[in-house]
């Protein structure tokens, strides 16, 4: 005996607008707000140079020539050359991030499987094969 298909409630137009706005808000809060507040950004260090020259910036004559063709002087190039990423790793932060990713995938797959069984049961339990 086939089971009765799940009949979802009808969503009002207002409800649809709320849902759409909610997704927009989620994007802004989780992605845009950290950027706006300066919380996100590459972990980096900067070396300051006093009276920089191509030699003190460790640029050979070919490098210096290319910088100059691009319109740079040692003074204007120093800020770029002195910027470096900071790769000192906080193992705790690394472990937490790895855990978040693993738990996210495990939870997503398990919950999806639960929902998927429901879908398959409803689709196939009436003995009919779905048509394309």
Partner 1 sequence: MTDISHPIAGAVAGAPAAPAPRRVALKRVLGPAHVWGLGVGIVLVGEFMGWNFAVGKGGAIAALTACWLAGILYTCVAMIDSEITSTVAAAGGQYAQAKHIIGPLAAFNVGLYLVMAYTMLEVSNAIVTGDLIEAFSHNMGLVGDVDKRAFMVLTIVFLSWLNYRGVLATLTLNLVITAIAFAAIVTLFVYAQPWAPGETLKHGELLTGLPYGGLGILAAMHFGLWFYLGIEGTTQAAEEVRSPARALPLGTLTGIMTLLIAATLTWYVGTGLMPWEYLGQAVTPLYDAARLTGSAPLEIFLFFGTLFATVASANGCVNDASRAWFAMGRDRYMPVWFGAVHPTYRTPYRAIVFFAPIAILFAISTPLDQTITFSILSGLLGYTTMALSIVMFRRKWPLGSIPRGFVHPLHPLPAVLLLLLCSVTYAAVFLGYGTQLLAMMAFYIAASAWFVLHRYKYVRRGDQFTMAWPKPRGY
Residue number with CB closer to partner 1 (75 or 120): 120
Closest distance between partner 1 and the C-beta of residue 80, in Å? 6
Taking the C-alpha atoms of residue 18 and residue 84, their distance in angstroms, rounded to an integer, is 44
Closest distance between partner 1 and the C-beta of residue 51, in Å? 19
Residue number with CB closer to partner 1 (8 or 51): 8
Closest distance between partner 1 and the C-beta of residue 65, in Å? 9
- Which tokens sit at 121? 């049961």
Residue labelled with tokens 């992605």: 31
Residue labelled with tokens 């298909």: 5
Closest distance between partner 1 and the C-beta of residue 73, in Å? 13
Contact assessment for residue 77 and residue 35, using Cβ atoms and an 8 Å cutoff: no
SS3 59: coil
> Across 5-74, where does the E strand assignment appear?
44-46
Residue number with CB closer to partner 1 (15 or 75): 15
Residue number with CB closer to partner 1 (51 or 132): 132
Residue 85 belongs to what H/E stretch? Answer: strand 83-85
């Amino acid at each position: 005996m086939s089971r009765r298909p799940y009949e979802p409630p009808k969503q009002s137009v207002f409800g649809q607008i709320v849902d759409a706005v909610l997704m927009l808000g989620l994007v802004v809060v989780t992605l845009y707000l950290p950027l706006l507040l300066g919380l996100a950004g590459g972990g980096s260090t900067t070396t300051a140079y006093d009276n920089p020259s191509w030699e003190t910036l460790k640029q050979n004559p070919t490098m210096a020539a290319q910088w100059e063709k691009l319109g740079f002087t040692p003074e204007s190039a120093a800020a770029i050359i002195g910027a470096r990423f900071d790769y000192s790793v906080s193992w705790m932060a690394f472990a937490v991030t790895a855990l978040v990713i693993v738990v996210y995938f495990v939870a997503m797959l398990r919950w999806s499987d639960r929902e998927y069984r429901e879908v398959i049961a409803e689709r196939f339990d009436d003995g009919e094969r779905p048509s394309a």
